Amino acid sequence: MNEAALPTPSNRILAALPPADLHRLWPSLKPVELPFRQSIQTPGGIITAAHFVDSGFVSMVVTLRDGDGAEVGLVGNEGMLGLPLLYGTDRSDIEGIVQHPGIALQLEAEAFAEALEWSPTLRRQVLLYAMAQYHQVARTAACNGRHHTEQRLARWLLMAHDRVGGDRFAITHELLSMMLGVRRAGVTVAAGSLQRAGLIRYERGQLEIANRTGLEAAACECYAAVLQEAERLSGLGSL
């Protein structure tokens, strides 16, 4: 296979690699489906591979002892699952749950570790993504503690919209309740307010973004802050 024949991955980490590096890495990348609600990373389980998300998105969820859980971050085609492998460990207490089906390019842990050694660009891109993910998690913590549910819901919907590739996606109030760490009644009130404002349409588990600009205005500052930092770090990777 010559380098020109390689497809261009939608995953931004892989797409940023020099053609020669991608050509060398490509035979080790295995496309795998990301079915809705599948757990890609289990709490305390051994992480056997890195997953570079090519389409769809995955929620990173922390579940407490009493069974309650909350989302701490989203991963779409800007990133990957398996970041602990970057730091020489193969476990995490954070679960990765597919919230919108898609495809990931799977790279076995040993091959990932080797690639980090022979591809300085891959290592740099993964490190920058890890920093962007850290910023997203930190902002999510502050947002969940300080901002109103309606603002937080608008922020989450914008982040999901960025990763879905379309205006419609499946979601339930129960799922949003877990993602935002609030009671279902609070999500129902917030979603109803956004719907009455004409920003979203929701029916039978299907949500449609009706007014993206209005939704951005309804969201708290955290959406723009996370996006700006991710774009800044992404730009550093091209230096």
pLDDT digits (tens, 9 = 90+) for 169-202: 999 888 888 888 888 899 999 999 999 999 999 9
| β-bridge mates for residue 63, sequence order | 69
How many CB atoms lie under 10 A from the CB of residue 46? 8
Write down the pLDDT at residue 236.
83
Write down the pLDDT at residue 1.
46
CB neighbour class for 37 (10 Å; exposed up to 12, middle 13-18, buried from 19): exposed
Write down the pLDDT at residue 165.
85
Q: What is the pTM of this model?
A: 0.93
Query: What topology is assigned to 3-143 in CATH?
Result: Jelly Rolls (2.60.120)
Residues forming CATH 1.10.10.10 domain(s) in the chain:
148-219
Residues forming CATH 2.60.120.10 domain(s) in the chain:
3-143
Structural element, H or E, at residue 165: none
Write down the pLDDT at residue 174.
85
Q: Does domain 148-219 have CATH number 1.10.10.10?
A: yes
| β-bridge mates for residue 81, sequence order | 51
For the chain, residues with pLDDT lower than 70 are 1-5, 237-239
CB neighbour class for 143 (10 Å; exposed up to 12, middle 13-18, buried from 19): buried
